[in-house]
């Protein structure tokens, strides 16, 4: 049973066992609730025996009191076990699930994130895991518990009188079959609803992120109109799902209630024909008032358990993704990077790099240049195994990067991208991300080398100033210099600079160029820059165009060759003279 639960609800081994125990505890608690009823039947039997002219048992008041206390105690213990087995275990399991998914996401290639909607992923990790918590603590054990206890009580009643049992329980399979039969239709609706909700939440996020551009382009009315439409579609889908679910559950509940009527009818008939005794009739009447309540709850839970299956499917889709694995302890023979006939595409059939071969030697600056969309950033990121290749190989110090664990590989890289990512934390901690065990003094030295100390000293709390979401209180240049400070602190043997000085003004750029000169000394440096003067002093230039190496050599060689590099240089020299006329 625990293995089955583990498999269908994608639980851990312990989670499967805990859920089985929780379900058993629920079943026992439900059966426990029958005990007061049996006491009532005993009392009834005692009171009615003189009327019915039969010898009944004779239990004194103290006997009833003692039994009541015993039953109460028993119910309390059962409930305590159920609570322990459901709530505590479910919190542990959902925490483990979140950690497991987060661990998985760490190891999944970045290509996965390109294909998946980020709101969808967040909803899966936060929303679906939270739902699983409730499913694990309520819906699933309560449903299984109710099934088991109803089956137990039903069989006992059948044993007492099968005709009466049948008249009472025939409605149960009908109601549940109706719920299960219509489910595929509701599943389809729920999937659609989820899609529409994601579109709406993406729209809201996009609106908040781009509010400045929307206002600047006078698009407020149009944009809000579009967003409103998405919200209306999402709302109407949600209402449809709720209404259909409501109709289904209510009809099933009504069917269950018919069972009450058939029990009374059948019981009265059999009693009038003296086929059953008054006590049996009474027992079934009492049972009929008790048995349908938990079953109605069960139907609600059944619907929730079906929704749980959709969520499990989504979590499984993450869990089943192939992860990037590799050796963690590697000894590199230096840190030369070699691209050997590398082919790569983000989307099948649309190659971004076709057949790229070049070397970036340790101690040298290798610049990737070329027209926009030529594959420069892609090539630089492939060296750090952000994605796996479709063909060829990339080696670092002779080691094929596809054989190295990505996290272990990244320890050798200091990366400065144009899109700097900063956290809503202090300046000190944002720089310390480069090397977690760095002292405050080391962080400050790195900041100084990256020319950050000037603007940091002007902030109200200096290094202890919180910089807002993604460094919202800083300018583009300041953010960029912070990320260079991070890279300096990390002091890794390979440096990737992707448009690292793009958002700096001329004064800042020359300051940061000085910092970068410190950073790159004796390292393997891959630099991507659009400004030709940034790469003029590079040791080697690789010109990437349409996913191929169009030219490579020293800046001087390429300039003399009079090809793409020369052309780009000349164009930029001309554009420097460009003014608003």
Ligand X SMILES: Nc1ncnc2c1ncn2[C@@H]1O[C@H](COP(=O)(O)OP(=O)(O)OP(=O)(O)O)[C@@H](O)[C@H]1O
Q: Does 398 bind ligand X (CB under 6 A)?
A: no
Told to check if 114 binds ligand X by CB under 6 A, we report yes
Q: Which residues contact 330 (CB under 8 A, 6 or more apart)?
A: 399, 404, 408, 409
Q: Distance between CA 64 and CA 61 in Å, rounded?
A: 5
State yes or no: residue 501 binds ligand X (CB under 6 A). no
Token digits of residue 70: 């015993």
Of 287 and 382, which has the nearer Cβ to ligand X? Answer: 382
> In the set 378, 414, 483, 569, which binds ligand X (CB under 6 A)?
378
| Residue among 352, 444, 452, 504 that touches ligand X (CB under 6 A) | 352
Does position 377 interact with ligand X (CB under 6 A)? The reply is yes
Cα separations (Å) of 374 from 65, 282, 339, 449, 549?
87, 84, 16, 33, 9
Q: Is 546 left (phi over 0), alpha (psi -120 to 50) or beta?
A: left
Segment near ligand X (CB under 6 A); pick from 11-19, 236-244, 375-383, 467-475: 375-383
Nearest distance in Å: CB 555, ligand X = 18
Q: Rule CB under 6 A: say whether 86 interacts with ligand X.
A: no
Is 374 an interacting residue with respect to ligand X (CB under 6 A)?
yes
Of 276 and 416, which CB lies nearer to ligand X in the complex structure? Answer: 416
Total residues at interface with ligand X (CB under 6 A): 10
499 Ramachandran zone, left/alpha/beta (phi>0; psi -120 to 50): left
For residues 514 and 536, what is the distance between their CA atoms, to the nearest angstrom?
15
Choices 39-47, 145-153, 215-223, 373-381 (CB under 6 A): range interacting with ligand X = 373-381
Residue 373 interacting with ligand X (CB under 6 A)? yes
Angle, helices 278-319/89-107, rounded to nearest 10 degrees = 20
- The yes or no reply on residue 346 touching ligand X (CB under 6 A) is yes
Q: Which two tokens stand for residue 185?
A: 């239709």
Q: Which is nearer to ligand X, 186 or 379 (CB)?
A: 379
| Binding flag, residue 351, ligand X (CB under 6 A) | no
Does residue 366 touch ligand X according to CB under 6 A? no
Pick from 123, 87, 245, 128: which is nearest to 178 by CA?
245
Based on the shown chain and the rule CB under 6 A, indicate whether residue 441 belongs to the binding site for ligand X.
Answer: no
DSSP structure class, residue 401: G
Q: Contact between 372 and ligand X (CB under 6 A)?
A: yes
118 part of the interface to ligand X, by CB under 6 A: no
Q: In angstroms, give the least distance from the CB of 114 to ligand X.
A: 4
Answer for which of 21, 98, 376, 451 binds ligand X (CB under 6 A) is 376
The residues with which 367 forms a beta bridge, in sequence order, are 527, 541
φ/ψ region of 162 (left if φ > 0, alpha if ψ in -120 to 50, else beta) reads alpha
Specify the residue, 150 or 418, whose C-beta has the smaller distance to ligand X.
418
Cα(49)–Cα(211) distance, rounded to whole angstroms? 81
Which residues of this protein are in contact with ligand X, per CB under 6 A? 114, 346, 352, 372-378
């Amino acid at each position: 049973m625990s293995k089955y639960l583990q498999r269908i609800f994608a639980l851990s081994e312990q989670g499967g066992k805990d859920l089985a125990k929780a379900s058993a505890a629920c079943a026992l608690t439900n059966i426990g609730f029958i005990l007061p009823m049996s006491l009532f039947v005993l009392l009834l039997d005692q009171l009615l025996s003189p009327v019915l002219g039969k010898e009944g048992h004779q239990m004194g008041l103290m006997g009833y009191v003692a039994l009541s206390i015993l039953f109460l105690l028993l119910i309390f213990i059962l409930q305590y076990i159920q609570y322990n087995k459901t709530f505590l275990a479910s919190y542990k399991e959902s925490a483990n699930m979140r950690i497991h998914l987060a661990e998985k996401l760490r190891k999944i290639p970045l290509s996965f994130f390109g294909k998946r909607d980020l709101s969808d992923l967040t909803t899966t990790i936060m929303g679906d895991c939270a739902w699983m918590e409730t499913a694990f603590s309520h819906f699933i054990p309560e449903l299984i518990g109710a099934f088991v206890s109803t089956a137990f009580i039903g069989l006992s009643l059948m044993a007492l009188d099968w005709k009466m049992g049948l008249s009472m329980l025939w409605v149960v399979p009908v109601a549940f079959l109706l719920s299960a039969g219509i489910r595929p239709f509701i599943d389809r609706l729920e999937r659609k609803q989820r899609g529409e909700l994601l579109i709406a939440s993406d729209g809201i996020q996009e609106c908040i992120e781009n509010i400045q551009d929307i206002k600047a382009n006078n698009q407020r009315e149009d944009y809000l109109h579009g967003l409103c439409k998405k919200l209306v579609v999402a709302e109407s889908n949600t209402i449809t799902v709720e209404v259909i679910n409501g109709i289904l559950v209510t009809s099933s509940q009504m069917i269950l209630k018919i069972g009450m009527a058939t029990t009374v009818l059948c019981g009265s008939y059999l009693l009038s024909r003296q086929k059953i005794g008054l006590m049996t009739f009474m027992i079934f009447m009492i049972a009929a008032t008790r048995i349908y309540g938990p079953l109605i709850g069960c139907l609600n839970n059944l619907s929730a358990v079906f929704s749980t299956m959709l969520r499990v499917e989504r979590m499984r889709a993450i869990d089943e993704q192939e992860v990037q694995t590799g050796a963690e302890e590697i000894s590199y023979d230096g840190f030369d990077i070699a691209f050997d006939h590398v082919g790569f595409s983000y989307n099948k059939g649309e190659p971004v790099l076709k057949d790229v071969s070049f070397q970036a030697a340790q101690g040298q600056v290798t610049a990737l240049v070329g027209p926009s969309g030529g594959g420069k950033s892609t090539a630089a990121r492939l060296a750090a195994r952000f994605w796996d290749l479709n063909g060829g190989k990339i080696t670092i110090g002779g080691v094929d990067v596809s054989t190295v664990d990505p996290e272990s590989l990244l320890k050798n890289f200091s990366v400065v991208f144009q899109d700097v990512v900063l956290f809503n934390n202090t300046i000190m901690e944002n720089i310390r991300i480069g090397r977690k065990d760095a002292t405050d003094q080391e962080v400050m030295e790195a900041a100084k080398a990256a020319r950050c100390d000037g603007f940091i000293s002007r902030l109200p709390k200096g290094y202890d100033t919180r910089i807002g979401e993604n460094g919202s209180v800083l300018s583009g240049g300041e953010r960029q210099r912070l990320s260079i400070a991070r890279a300096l602190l990390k002091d890794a043997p390979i440096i990737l600079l992707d448009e690292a000085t793009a958002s700096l003004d001329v004064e800042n750029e020359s300051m940061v160029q000085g910092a970068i000169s410190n950073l790159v000394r004796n390292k393997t440096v891959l630099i991507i820059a659009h400004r030709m003067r940034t790469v003029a002093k590079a040791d080697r230039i690789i010109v990437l165009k349409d996913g191929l190496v169009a030219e490579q050599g020293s800046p001087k060689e390429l300039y003399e060759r009079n090809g793409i590099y020369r052309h780009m240089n000349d164009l930029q020299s001309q554009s420097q003279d460009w003014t608003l006329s």
